Structure 1
Amino acid sequence: MENFSDRGIKKSVDWTLVITYLVLIIIGWVNIYASIHSDGPASIFDYNFRCGKQFVWILTALGLAALILFVVNAQLWESASVPLYLGVLCLLVAVIFLGVEVKGSRSWFEFGPIRFQPAEVSKITTSLLLATIMSQANFKITRFKDFMLTALILGVPMLVILAESETGSALVYVGFIFVMYREGFSGWWIFCIGAAALLFILTLTASPYVSMLVLIGILLVCNTLDSSRIGILFWICAVAFLIFCLLPWILGLFNPESFLGKLNPLYVLIGVCACVIPFMIVQGYKARKRFLSLSALGLIAGIALIFSTDFIFNNILQDHQRKRIEVLLGMKEDPTGVGYNVNQSMIAIGSGGLTGKGFLGGTQTTFGFVPEQSTDFIFCTVGEEWGFVGCLVVISLYVFLIIRIISDAEKSRESFTRIYGYCVASCIFMHLFINIGMTIGLMPVIGIPLPLLSYGGSSLWAFTVLIFIFIALYRQEKKYF
């Protein structure tokens, strides 16, 4: 245990981060009260309502923060990362069988009036173990066994959380790829993930043929960028690509009853790709053009993804997830069903205008038009009552928080602290991106809280511990250097 009067303690703590954290939780608390005040709470401290309960969660969160900063030795987090990770992983599995079902998701333990969600805590333990493994002197993310170990650490809890039907919490784990990129992971993998998402969406909204053309176009551009010069092969590929773009129109000129008229351009394109792929592999090997051989593998993987999209969409995703994606992508209109939340959310934010309707002046949120307005859709209350200016202030605070954490992480002399800091920043960013994207119709409604603002003890405690472990680690360094 440390004495609060220790030399340099006031200087060693990053009070800018602490103050930003406090401002965000106060903004959240006030907006939770605003979203439910029409239900009749006597005051913002009324424990019979969510605003009063959130006040209790805030007090306990501050107690946790003080404990982490001034009592727990920061060096213990690294040594305890493995048992903490395994312990929380056991809870993630146990909650599937012993937990209670809330809104279609069996991811909560219930102890009387208190509910606890292990998925929130798993972000902390995963971040700690990831930082422990990646900070080892002989670790290289580009080495296959180290990459597979990292993928295992991230993949196991992610898959278990998906089994709990907590898609939003599982999606946050994708953000850890930014941590891997900072530690030497190739940016091409991030590009591949983005390209895969694009192909998946295009296959659903356009057609497999369009997706095939986009896939070939992407590979053609990438090989051009990788090559030091543009040769005759590039122009042959470019002309072939143009022909394939016009192929449906060309085949349409023939009699529908003729052989050419009956040809499906998609199968023609696949047949050509099947002939070209061996050539790409052999040519890449002979000319020592590794990227050309990798492009052949990328083409195979892309074709496999395109033709498995329908199966994934119809057989792996759940009904409510399919409906939300269909509404988001404009494949279906459902203003009174799954699209209701998003429509009401956008109406609430849009009605706030530049400066908002004023504190407690919202109508969409106050009268319950927006579901989950104190949890997943808390940003709607900010938008309606405080307008564009209020939204800008809140987003700016989050951006400042993330940048400050990354800045402190880069200043750190310890690789464990740096990597953990990037994990914290990635988790906050993913929550921010998904939640706000969800409220303005850019992301499907998958149920994910806005860090420090949304109502709920599990989320608030988890982000408090996540952030203050980093502050404690950074303070430990500043104390002695």
Structure 2
Amino acid sequence: MKNQSVSNNIDWITISLYVALVTLGWMTIYSADMTPNSAYYFDFNQNYGKQLIFIAFTVLLIIVILTIDAKFYERFASVLFGSSLLLLAGLFLFGKTIAGQRCWYAIGGFTLQPSEFAKAATALALAKYLSDPQINLKNLNHQILALLIMGLPILLILPQPDPGSALIFMMFILVLNREGLPTWYLWSGFGAVVLFVMSLLLKPQYVILISFILVALHYFKSRRINRNIIASALVFIAMAGFTLSVDYVFENVFKQHHRDRFNILLGKEVDMSGVGYNTNQSEIAIGSGGWLGKGYLEGTQTKGNFVPEQHTDYIFTTVGEEWGFAGSSVLVLLFVALILRVIYLAENQKTKFSRVYGYGVAAVLFTHFFVNISMVIGIFPTIGVPLPFLSYGGSSLWGFTILLFIFVKMDANKVNEW
């Protein structure tokens, strides 16, 4: 097979979706920060001016990523992963604390958040490990090593504390599931979340009774396939033990602001002026946009600075207020199109390494997109997760760009792979 030019095989659909989201992101940041005294677009003292600098560096970053040989990312996946772990560990000694979180390195007048870059490194490390022909995720030892790769960044990120970023890394479980990890891992995780929420809403004895009924029903339903009663009993004991531990973990491990956010989300507390203020104001802003919005730069909630962090984690509120349901739907469709495009391209890769990495990209983008918008509209606790390509910040933009364009390079190179 002839060596074809990679540049002729770049997926321009993916790049077009990326450019559209970055452009809409800058426009929304400008709208969120623009004041009557804003003189021009290139005011580098304002967030929208700084974001232009970040975008300019992003162009250079893309050129570098697309210039490097695609095999580099596979060859040095372990080195990149190890370097990302060192950067995360270094935060405990050299990190800058902002709003109670030690998540950034201060470099001059800017800050850099290594967890944003660790996502691409972790996706590469998982792809490298799983592409080994000898690895089989039906094997317990191989499962443990794969989960360890996914879990190491989480262990370094949780104490910062940064539960939002830790959640993103947890969602690599979707990639492992796609590559053969037994489905019970996924269902166990989902069940643990349901049990956790139930234990916060109901008395422990009620949750344990419900657990017993569910395990008993499942046992009697599957007796014909030699279901082991001991295994069912162990599952029930585990569920009961988890239920009884929730109260201790919630009261002694979670910080107060995390407890408050969960209580407000579950309706156990009402605090519209304190912890619940952000979510309440974001819902008001989005609701005020109606079907077609108030118009670009015309958002009264946005201009009144009613929603804190509106240029970062809550940037979707500006979209909802100024562009309304119609504009918000277009933005959602752009994200869905990008994620589905990445999945489609991943399924058509010629190497397992590229396929697994592509699914890692899709998992990270989907989790960020889903959690951020769910958080803004009040159906998920506020945990500080940016909206990809829209939220203000160099680390966020560069991290997502690196994540996506490494895959764009891999996909373009598949014409030269057997």
TM-score (norm 2): 0.96
Correspondent of 1:80 among 76, 83, 102? 76
1:192 to 183, 188, 193: 188
Query: 1:439-454 to 2 correspondence within 5 Å?
Result: 439-454=376-391
CA distance in 2, matches of 1:480, 1:308: 51
Contact 1:431 1:449 in 2 (8 A): yes
> Do 1:142 and 1:185's aligned partners in 2 also have CA atoms closer than 8 Å?
yes
Greater Cα radius of gyration, structure 1 or 2: 1
The aligned counterpart of 1:232 is none
1:154 to 130, 150, 155: 150
| Structure 1 residue corresponding to 2:54, chosen from 57, 80, 83 | 57
2:15 pairs, out of 14, 18, 28, with 18
- Counterpart CA distance in 1 for 2:212 and 2:86 is 44
Greater relative contact order, per chain length (Cα 8 Å cut-off, separation 6+): 2
- Indicate whether 1:458 and 2:386 are aligned: no
Q: Quick one: structure 1 residues 53 and 224, their matched pair in 2 at CA, closer, same or farther if it must change by over 3 Å?
A: farther
Task: Measure, in 2, the Cα distance between the counterparts of 1:226 and 1:430.
Answer: 34
SS at match of 1:163: coil
- Alignment match of 1:429 (pick from 354, 359, 366): 366
Give the distance between the partners of 1:152 and 1:51, measured in 2 at CA: 39
Task: Give the residue type in structure 2 aligned to 1:385.
Answer: E
Q: Name the aligned partner's letter for residue 184 of structure 1.
A: G
Counterpart for residue 201 of structure 1:
197
List alignment gaps of at least 5 residues for structure 1: 1-5, 230-287
Tell me the distance in 2 between the aligned counterparts of 1:353 and 1:473: 42
Residue identity (%)? 40
Counterpart in the other structure of 1:102: 98
Superposed, 1:11-410 pairs within 5 Å as 11-38=8-35, 40-69=37-66, 71-223=67-219, 226-228=222-224, 288-290=226-228, 292-410=229-347
Question: Residue 348 of structure 1 contacts residue 381 of structure 1 at CA under 8 Å; is this kept in 2?
Answer: yes
Q: 2: CA distance between counterparts of 1:64 and 1:181?
A: 32
Label 1:75 to 1:9 Cα distance change in 2 as closer, same or farther (>3 A): closer
Larger mean CA deviation between 33-42 and 17-26 belongs to: 33-42
2:8 and 2:216 map into 1 onto residues whose CA distance is 54
Aligned equivalent of 1:237 = none
Q: Mark the runs of 5 or more structure 2 residues left unpaired by the alignment.
A: none
Separation in structure 1 between the aligned mates of residue 395 and residue 36 of structure 2, nearest angstrom:
24
Contact preservation (8 Å) 1:12, 1:479: no
Give the CA deviation at 1:210: 2.3
User: 1:63 deviation in Å?
Assistant: 1.3
Superposed displacement of residue 378, structure 1: 0.3
Number of the residue aligned with 1:270: none
Post-superposition CA distance 1:199-218 (Å, at most 9, x none): 11111112112211331233
Does the aligned pair in 1 maintain the 2:368–2:388 contact within 8 Å? Answer: yes
Segment of structure 1 superposing worse, 450-459 or 321-330: 321-330
Residue 476 of structure 1: aligned partner: 413
Deviations 1:269-319 (A, max 9, x none): xxxxxxxxxxxxxxxxxxx434x4432221111011111011000000111
Is this contact kept in 2: 1:212–1:303, CA < 8 A?
A: yes
CA contact (8 A) 2:250 2:259 kept: yes
SS of aligned partner of 2:78 = helix
Distance 1:297 1:40, change over 3 A: farther
Contact 1:202/1:210 (<8 A) preserved: no
Assess if the C-alpha contact under 8 Å between 2:74 and 2:128 holds in 1. Answer: yes
- Checking the alignment, whether the CA contact within 8 Å between 2:4 and 2:415 is kept in structure 1 is no
Aligned residue for 1:179, secondary structure, equals helix
How far did residue 462 of structure 1 move? 0.4
CA–CA distance in structure 1, aligned partners of residues 197 and 4 of structure 2:
57
Other-structure match for 1:259: none
SS at match of 1:223: helix
Distance 2:278 2:176 in 1: 35
